Amino acid sequence: MPPKFKAGFGALVTSIPNERSDWLRDHLPETITNRLPDLSRDGVAVSDLRDKDCPLVYVNRAFQEITGYVSNELVGKNCRFLQGSDRLQPEIHAVSEAIARRTSISVTLKNYRKDGTLFWNDLRLVPVSADGQEATHYIGLIRNVTAGKNAAEQIEHSARSDLLTGALNRYAFIEEIGNLLIGRQEQILISKIDMAGFHDINEGYGYDVGDQVLKQIAQRLSKAGIAVVSRTGSDEFGVAHPLMPGQSAQTVNATIRSVLSQSFVVAGATINMRFALGYVVGSPMADAMTLVRQAGVALRRSKSSAFLEVREFKPEDERQARNRLRLTREMQQALANDEFGFYYQPQVALDTGTLVGAEALLRWHHGLFGTQQPGKFIEHAEDTGLILDIGSRGLRAIVDYAQLTNDGRATALKFSMNVSAVEFKLRDMPQFVHEVVSERGVNPAWITLELTESLMVESSGEMLSIMRDLRQLGVGLSIDDFGTGYANLRYLEELPITEIKIDRTFVAGLQESRSKQIIVESIIRISNELGFRVVAEGIETDEDCERLRDMNCPFGQGFFFGKAVDAATFTSLSSSVGEG
């Protein structure tokens, strides 16, 4: 301690306003009070207010250890040099005002050690007087709180960041967009990005590879100079970027698409990905949550496009989104009110005209709009998962109706129904069908499940196993609308099907088209040879029926035999027709 200051230090220390000051002054000799600061873990410094530059006149041992400077490097200087070039901290202005008013203050500042490393400093300044009059000195107490500050920042970072990629999470994403929108003149681009087929990467390569791809996506977007990058879903990212002069949404999105179009090399595998992208451009002071939702609506349009085209949000998109929400609520209510039911279109043996069964066609008996065809609601039911409830009730209803209709008949009628690909993916179909036919006690041979051709493309080992299990239960499996989509002759050999339905587009104009005749005749001949039941759809004229009969097509359905009718009407029809 400098000799010129040593004698008065005890008086300065005991002049700090607290309840122990009097006790220290009255009970401890000056030799002890002079040593107290060096025993403290906190840094203690004293500056002289009587000098215009307020230089330090004393620092204790802890102050030197915290800052890395020794006493003679500190005494005589204003402690502001510890702030380095970081002079714009708002706390510095608050300290200056407190010193001008000769008042106490407590702040947390960024300071820099002698070696240049940053430390966070909890600083308390207390004005004191050596003569009992106006304050002549400040005593400063400092504490290195860097560890605690870093821990708090880490906690905050964890709360705002996606743990896998390090990008912002969706909550922080919205917050950052809000920050960008405040006080800016530029418009803000918000884009949402979704990977196509990411599930296949996880399943084919493993989740560790999928995780590496996600990390690389976040890194590429950040390195591309995008202002804000977020992981908003399992395989979905969001970005936000102020559009500076000369920039457009199209150019920024083109940059995003470019950096993501390059192959991903992970774990020895090279993976090429396709991305859907939807975006919206927001004006300053817009609502961040609304913009993110609108970008999501545009992304949905991109995902549903054939080639994952970039889509910009349009006002009509929002109307459609509201309509989808309304449709979801109405369909949920329809399930509760049992508004879904079936119409039955007769299937007949073409050689005798005998009724052999019916296709059960789903209908929605809407309270306001009347009977609705599946084209109005089935896709939405699949998107929302409501198809599982509809399909569950549907199979039970058809099994019950088959049981009722065939009661007492010598030759049972067969009933077929369409099954969504979603049901095959999300439901244990063999177990479900087994439960339904068992609890109803119905003959499973009376029921045929019509499969869409999209399921044929997914004829993986798992799908083949499901189909074989269904066949072991005794139910029939039919390929619906054969020849119009993905199905080819290879599936006739591989899949355990029992029936092929020739699409109505081949039947219409059959008399006039030689090519249609060749195709239909080939399907019939191959199916008959392989033992498949063949049903021609869309028969509307006697000429159509006659031509198909000449081709040895065994069964058919269409307006020529009757339109789809409700259950009561079909029951009456089947009773009047008899067993032929």
Q: How far apart are CA 268 and CA 272, in angstroms?
A: 13
Q: How far apart are CA 79 and CA 76, in angstroms?
A: 9
Domain boundary residue, one of 274, 290, 313: 313
Q: What is the pLDDT of residue 23?
A: 43
Both 335 and 291 in one domain: the answer is no
Place of tokens 């009376």: 446
| Inter-residue contact 55 to 77 (CB < 8 Å) | yes
| Inter-residue contact 134 to 196 (CB < 8 Å) | no
Amino acid letter at 351? D
Domain boundary residue, one of 128, 150, 172: 150
- Confirm whether 319 is domain-assigned: no
Of 470, 522, 525, 535, the C-alpha closest to 496 is 470
Of 355, 426, 362, the C-alpha closest to 398 is 362
pLDDT in tens, the chain (580 residues): 444 444 444 444 444 444 334 444 454 455 545 555 665 778 888 888 888 888 998 888 889 999 999 988 998 898 888 988 888 888 888 888 888 888 999 998 888 999 999 888 888 998 888 666 788 888 888 888 888 777 666 666 666 788 889 899 888 899 899 888 887 778 999 999 999 888 888 877 888 888 999 999 999 999 999 999 999 988 999 999 999 888 899 999 999 999 999 999 987 788 888 999 999 998 887 889 999 999 999 998 899 887 899 999 988 877 887 888 899 999 999 999 999 999 999 999 999 999 999 999 999 999 888 999 998 999 889 888 999 999 999 999 999 999 999 998 889 999 999 999 889 888 899 999 999 999 989 999 999 999 876 666 655 677 888 999 999 999 999 988 776 655 556 667 778 999 999 989 999 888 889 999 998 999 899 888 889 999 999 999 999 999 999 999 999 999 999 999 999 999 998 887 656 5
Q: How far is CA 327 from the centre of its chain?
A: 22
Q: How far apart are CA 522 and CA 553, in angstroms?
A: 11
Amino acid letter at 482? F
Give residue 84's region: left, alpha or beta (phi > 0; psi -120 to 50): left
Q: How far apart are CA 506 and CA 482, in angstroms?
A: 10
* DSSP-derived secondary structure letter, 83: G
- Confirm whether 156 is domain-assigned: no
Both 170 and 133 in one domain: the answer is no
| Inter-residue contact 177 to 291 (CB < 8 Å) | yes
Provide the greatest CA pair distance for the chain: 126
Both 550 and 428 in one domain: the answer is yes
Q: How far apart are CA 279 and CA 90, in angstroms?
A: 37
Amino acid letter at 237? F
Both 375 and 407 in one domain: the answer is yes
Both 359 and 252 in one domain: the answer is no
pTM of the model: 0.59
- Confirm whether 486 is domain-assigned: yes
Domain with 178, as residue range(s), is 161-313
Tell me the HSE value of 378 on the side-chain side, using a 13 A CA sphere. Answer: 14
Both 265 and 338 in one domain: the answer is no
- Confirm whether 320 is domain-assigned: no
Angle at 80 (CA atoms; ends 75, 85), nearest 5 degrees: 130
Structure tokens given for 468: 């074989």
Q: What is the pLDDT of residue 329?
A: 93
Q: How far apart are CA 191 and CA 308, in angstroms?
A: 14
| Inter-residue contact 229 to 167 (CB < 8 Å) | yes
Both 295 and 200 in one domain: the answer is yes
DSSP string for 261-307: HSPEEETTEEE--EEEEEEEEE-TT--HHHHHHHHHHHHHHHHHSTT
Polymer length in residues for the chain = 580
- Confirm whether 82 is domain-assigned: yes
CA dihedral 124, 127, 130, 132 (to 10 degrees): -130
Q: What is the pLDDT of residue 139?
A: 87
Both 413 and 366 in one domain: the answer is yes
How much of the chain is helix, strand and coil, in % rounded to 5?
A: 50, 25, 30
Both 300 and 351 in one domain: the answer is no
Both 15 and 48 in one domain: the answer is yes
Domain harbouring 179, CATH code? 3.30.70.270
Domain boundary residue, one of 313, 336, 366: 313
User: Which residues on adjacent β-strands are paired with residue 535?
Assistant: 501, 555
Q: 301 CB contacts (<8 Å, ≥6 apart)?
A: 278, 311, 317
Both 255 and 332 in one domain: the answer is no
Structure tokens given for 31: 């030799």
Q: 58 CB contacts (<8 Å, ≥6 apart)?
A: 1, 2, 5, 9, 37, 44, 45, 46, 75
Structure tokens given for 251: 């150019």
When divided into structural domains, the chain yields a total of 3
| Inter-residue contact 174 to 240 (CB < 8 Å) | no
Domain harbouring 386, CATH code? 3.20.20.450
What is the number of other CB atoms lying within 10 angstroms of the CB of residue 288? 21
Instruction: Please give the C-alpha separations between residue 416 and each of 155, 270, 401, in angstroms, as whole numbers.
Output: 58, 45, 12
Structure tokens given for 249: 């949404």
- Confirm whether 300 is domain-assigned: yes
| Inter-residue contact 448 to 475 (CB < 8 Å) | yes
Buried b (16+ CB within 10 A) or exposed e, 96-108: eebbeeeeebebe
Q: 274 CB contacts (<8 Å, ≥6 apart)?
A: 195, 196, 197, 308
- Confirm whether 251 is domain-assigned: yes
Q: How far apart are CA 83 and CA 394, in angstroms?
A: 74
Domain harbouring 35, CATH code? 3.30.450.20
H or E element, residue 470: helix 461-473
Q: What is the pLDDT of residue 5?
A: 44
CA dihedral 260, 265, 270, 271 (to 10 degrees): -30
- Confirm whether 177 is domain-assigned: yes
Both 129 and 180 in one domain: the answer is no
